[in-house]
Every structure is written in structure tokens, then in C-alpha cells.
Chain A
Amino acid sequence: MKKPELLVTPTKVDDISRLINSGATAILIGEEKYGLRLAGEFNRDDIKESVKIAHGLGAKVYVSMNALFHNDKLEFLPEYISFLSDVNVDAIVFGDPAVIMAAREAAPEMKLHWNTETTATNYFTANYWGQKGAKRAVMAREINMDSIVETKEKAEVEIEVQVHGMTCMFQSKRTLIGNYMEFQGKDLKVEGRSKDRTLFLHDPERDAKYPIFEDENGTHIMSPNDICIIDELEDMLDAGVDSFKIDGVLKSVDYIEKVTSLYNEAIELYLQDPDAYQDKKFFYLEEIEKIQPINRNLDTGFFFKETVY
């Protein structure tokens, strides 16, 4: 059985060697202008530096360009893609077909990973984007374990699944936090509304807390719990899912590092000795529970939850 890629999100250049030494085999970075809900902001010099460090340690570097682009951003895409190609980034993550169009012109050899998040829900469509040039599909977090396994069986592209962390529930182009503050008559310059402030919405009905922040791409609302399936990795390892992602958005590097090393250990143990993994998997879960930030419970997302419609 092959060991899947362990993809993690550093918050800054200095995190990279720590995370790779903890077991990460690929990193996802980028800048807000092109990528959505990143753990950190990486400008061009940072990207260059990141590639040097990661490649030196044998890990891959993916750059996020999965924003929904309006016309005014189009002119920047080819040049940015050329730059990423020149500095030997291993793949670009996209959602908007405009990125395919730009990559065909600017860097036809560049690998593309399709990731719209919410709309990657079946194997046919994963393969469709494969035919359009994607090497990988990142599955929606809203599909269940059986679908993921079936999708992997029928996919002609690599399959990536988020196994840990926060997920996005909502993106609006409107500046909803600022709008609310203006409605209340507050001075926005003083108040601020960015990711640097830890804001959340409290849902009184469900007593849940949803992180919320604004950036260049609009307003984002995040899940109340962190996905954690460190004790449920068997099916996806057996199926050969290509990449397991740990999303570190709104988390500290200490947290991401610890989670990475635990997942790495769990995966390696299963591959060497599935029975030993069965004995130890709840220990891994407990270890993660110990470092969870206040207000952030763990759950299994939609892996074992059915939705109706």
C-alpha cells in the first residue's frame, strides 16, 4: 500500500521545515489576491524561498489560485502563473476556469489541482476537470466516506481529501462584518474587521460559534468544529486516496505541527501494522483533543453524516 501525501498549510516561511520534519510531504501556500482562506500570506519572495526549502527537504509546493475572479483580476493571472512556473512550484490549485485558460497560455506544463471546495461532489465531474487539464481533484467536504471511496475507485485523476481542520461554510462578495458595523454606526477605521481579530458569530439556536472574517475575496464563515478523522483513516488508506490535507487556517503553527506529526505517525502505523493502528487510534485522537483551542470541538464533518434535500 502506498503512503499518501500529507499536505499541510504553513502560516509563514519559517514554519515550512518544522512541518516537513513533522511528516508533511507537501505544502499549500499562496496570497489572498489569488487564493481563498489561506493559513498565511506568502508574497513572491516567500514563495521562492518556500520552494527552495521544501524542495531541499523533498516536499512539494502547491500554490492556491482558487478565488472566484472578476474581470479586473484576469490581467494578472498569466503573469502570476508564469512566475510560479519559473520558480518551480509543483502545482496550482484552481476553481475558476479562467485559471485553466490563463495556464494554457502562460505555462501549459504546469500541473493543476481542481478545488472549488463545495462543488466537487462526484467522480464524473472530477474526471471532467481531469480532461480539461487537472491532475487532481480536491473533494468537497460535504460528501461522505462511501462516496470518497467510490470516487477514488472511479477517478482518473488524483484525489485529495481534507482530513483535519476547519472548513468554509459560506463566502459572500459583500463586506458583511463591515456592513453590520456601519449599520450600528461604528467607525470602521477604528473597529477593523480582518482575520487578525478573532471574530465569530454565535448561533443561539444551536449554541454554535462560527468563525467569520473579511478579506479581499469577501466575507467567509467557517465551520463550528474542526474535522478530525485520525481514528478513521483505514477506508481511505485502503482505497488509495492520494493526498490527505490538514488545513491550518486560523490555527497556530504549534498546533499544525503537532497535528501533522500525529497524522503522520497514524498513517505510518496503519501501513506497517493495521492491528496496531486499531489499538492506538484513540490515543491519537486524545492527543489532538488535548491541544484543541477553546471553543473548537472536533467532529467527523460529513464523513459519516447524511444530508437530505
Chain B
Amino acid sequence: MQQISSFTPEGKRVIIKKPELLAPAGSLEKLKIAVHYGADAVFIGGREFGLRSNADNFSIEEMREGVEFANKYGAKIYVTTNIFAHNENMEGLEEYLKDLQEVGVTGIIVADPLIIETCKRVAPNVEVHLSTQQSLTNWQAIKFWKEEGLHRVVLAREVGLEEMLEMKKHVDIEIETFIHGAMCIAYSGRCVLSNHMTARDSNRGGCCQSCRWDYHLFEQDDHKEEEIALYQEADDPFTMSPKDLNLLEGIPQVIEAGIDSLKVEGRMKSIHYVATVTSVYRKVIDAYCADPDNFKIDPKWIEELDKCANRDTAPAFFEEVPTYKEQMFGNHGKKTTFDFAGLVLDYDEDTKIVTLQQRNHFKPGDEVEFFGPEIENFTQQIEKIWDEDDEEIDAARHPLQIVKFKVDKPLYPNNMMRKGVL
């Protein structure tokens, strides 16, 4: 097993095997934000063969631009090509994989051996990572995939820390695991609820999340031909909505286990989510690796993650099989406490005027918070607001409108502004 830590000449332990922080990017803008906010790698979806057919997804040209941008910052790009293909989906696969190689993506995330084998044959420079859709739950299966020439495996979401440790002990291959975000309540790849209920193929990107709908649990009494409701009128209905994954507090253990890549889910989420989650985990990983023995979770990190959460979170299978406490019954959603209000384009140090692109309504008198990789979070009350032509306005009403106002502390391009919602 690879060495995780070593000692400095002064005798301080430091982590030398720092895991990759892998962030989701549903669009070129999110890709740039993810890298800017500290992601070592991002995963994106193409127009075909991926599992989020409703997402924006990248054209080959957009991927090229993404790769060029990522290269400048030493970041890697992986493309999700993790459908289980039907015969009719084979067409165009070779061309697509050759395009990915030519564009220069580092790897693809794959579930179907059709795509694994085709990639090995036509795009040998592209790394092949086994998708969580294969629901990989044991080290012998990992050994099998290593022998098949895969570069990396993504574990099933059902794998806990003890199991990860054993996997690392038995097989020398890069292991990626989810640390944050929404997840399937079924073994991935083993759910076709969506196919049955809405004729949308979950394993080709059509999942309509039927698991999160409300159902009623009954018992059939075959002898009496009677159906007995197993709920009272006042009970919340049966549902299968898992709390979102949040492994913030488990990061030290995951690092010590030698896990190679820590993945944040959410290609469909906003840039506010991508920026917030990426920057928090960046700070956690850096802080732990620099001084593992004096590391403490900063309550501010937990608070910060909460600012972009629209559902409750839990560590899922990390320690044991989740109970009802890691599921949501009744009201599944949680009110978001913050809106993403604006993206910083420029800041004039002399006049202290920020130029900002509006992303949500705000007006003079509002208290807002700024955050970004170059700054410590701070809050500020907005005074006068001007539009692009320096006309004073009573509110920033229009999406993507360019506005200016005074901010006391320095800001940098791509810093973000958020606003509390009541």
C-alpha cells in the first residue's frame, strides 16, 4: 500500500498522498468555477452515452475549450459515458470516443463493457474509470476490473469505510468514492422503477426519480382477499428519499485510508452549489493534509455547506447501513437559506466599487455575503446600486444585469455574492 504520510525534518507529520478533489460541472461556466474554487478534476457529460439526458451537457467544441482551460490550471477532465447501451446505441460510439481522445480529456467514466472495450481499442490514451453504475461492492470484483486494464474504480455508494480499507489492502488501483451530494437509494444500475412507471430508461439517462415519490404500504391477506393499510391516516406516506450524502467529518478517515479521488455529485446543480461545496472540501483537505495531528473540523465549514443545501444530509453508509434517520419522510425538501445573488466581474481598489453580474434579485439595504478562494467570507449591507451606464437603480432586478455598488473589502473576479432568504 502506498505511503500516506511522512514526517518533516522538524518532526511534524504531513500527508504526502493527497487525494484528488473531483467536482461536477454541468456546463463550461461551472467547469471554470469548479477549477477556480479548487477542484483538482471535474467530471462532465457529453451529448451522448451519459446518464443525465436532461442536463445541458457539453458539445465536443465545448469540451475542447474546457480541456484548454483545465490544462492551464493543471486540472483533469473526465467524461461520463456510463449508460448501459442497448444494441441501437452502439452506433457512433467509436467516433465519439475518438473525439474525446483528440480533445484531450483525461478519462471516461464507464459502466458497460461495450464502452470499456471500445475505448481501449479506439481511444487507448483515454483512461477508463469504472462507474458507480456497476455497483462495485467487493475487492475481488475490483481485482477483476484491474486485470481488465481499468485505471480507476468508483465504488458503490453502499460501501463503508471499513470495506474501503480492506479494498485498498487487497488491490492496488485508484479508488474514487463519493463524499457529497444526492444519491440513489437503490444499488446504482439495479433500479428500473422509472422504466416501469414512466417508460423512461433509468440506465440510459432517463431516470425520473420515482423512488422519491409517495406510496402507501399495504398487506395483502390472501385468505380473506383483503388489503390492510399499514399506516394511519395521519402517518407520512412510505417513500424512499435518502438524505443527501455529506462526508465532511469523515474526510480525515478517507484520506488516511488512501482513497485516491473524492467525488462531489451534482452536474445538475447551480454554480453556487459547485463553488460552495468545492471550496469547503478544498479547505478541509488542505487543512488536514498540512497538519493531520492537530486538525479540527471548523464549524464554519459545516455552516458554509449548509448554505447551498436544499435537503438534509447524512453520512449514508460510511459507518453502517443507514436507518430511517438517514431517510426523509413527509416533507422531503428543506428551504434553502441562501440565494446566489451575483458573480463578481471586477473590483476597483481605489473606488472600492464592485462590478457584478446579477444572478438573483437584490436591492439597497439588503445584507449580502461574499465568498471566494481569495477571501474570507464577509457580510456587508448594500447601499446605492448603479447600472452599467452609472444610472442609480432601486433594485437589481434583471438576470445577468451588470451592476455596480460599493464594497468595503477587496474582491476578485469570480467571487460570489449570496443573500439570505427568509
Contacts and interface: CB of A to CB of B under 8 A. Distances in A.
Main secondary structure on A side of the interface with B: mixed
Nearest to B236: A183
B144 A173 contact: no
Interface of B: 53, 83-90, 111-114, 117, 133-135, 137-141, 143-145, 156, 158-159, 163, 166-167, 185-187, 189-193, 195-197, 199-201, 203-206, 211, 213-222, 225, 230-232, 235-236, 238, 240, 242, 317, 321-324, 327, 329
B410 to A, nearest CB: 47
A306 interface: yes
29 contacts: A71-B138, A74-B138, A97-B141, A97-B144, A118-B203, A119-B189, A119-B203, A122-B86, A123-B87, A124-B85, A128-B117, A170-B190, A170-B191, A171-B191, A173-B158, A175-B321, A177-B217, A179-B324, A180-B329, A183-B324, A184-B231, A197-B219, A204-B216, A209-B218, A212-B217, A302-B195, A307-B195, A307-B206, A309-B205
A294 interface: yes
A205 B324 contact: no
Given A119-B134, A206-B197, 15 more contacts: A68-B135, A69-B138, A70-B159, A71-B137, A101-B140, A116-B190, A119-B111, A119-B112, A121-B84, A121-B203, A124-B117, A147-B87, A147-B88, A205-B213, A308-B199
Given A100-B144, A200-B220, A125 B199 contact: no
B90 A124 contact: yes
Interface of A: 68-71, 73-74, 77, 96-98, 100-102, 116-119, 121-125, 128-129, 140-143, 147, 150-151, 169-177, 179-184, 197-206, 208-210, 212, 218, 221, 223-224, 293-295, 302, 305-309
Nearest to A225: B196
Contacts of B235: 184
A295 B220 contact: yes
A141 to B, nearest CB: 8
Contacts, number: 213
Contacts of B135: 68
Nearest to A210: B215
B203 A101 contact: no
Contact of B196 (A116, A150, A169): A169
B187 A171 contact: yes
Contacts of A128: 113-114, 117
